Amino acid sequence: MGNFDGNGYTISNILVDKAITYDGVDYYGLFTKTENAYINNLNINNLRVVVNKSDNLYKVGSVISEVNSLVDDNITWKEITSAIKSNMND
Per-residue pLDDT reduced to its tens digit, 43-81: 888 888 888 777 778 787 767 767 776 666 677 767 777
Contact at 8 Å (CB) between 44 and 63?
A: yes
Cα atoms found within 13 Å of the Cα of residue 34, Cβ hemisphere only: 19
Residue 89 reports pLDDT greater than 60: no
Is residue 72 a contact partner of residue 39, using CB atoms and an 8 Å limit?
A: yes
Q: Tell me the whole-structure pTM to 2 decimals.
A: 0.71
pLDDT (0 to 100) of residue 84: 72
Q: What is the pLDDT of residues 1-43, one digit of tens each?
A: 678 888 999 989 989 888 888 888 888 888 887 888 888 888 8
State how far Cα 12 lies from the chain centre: 13
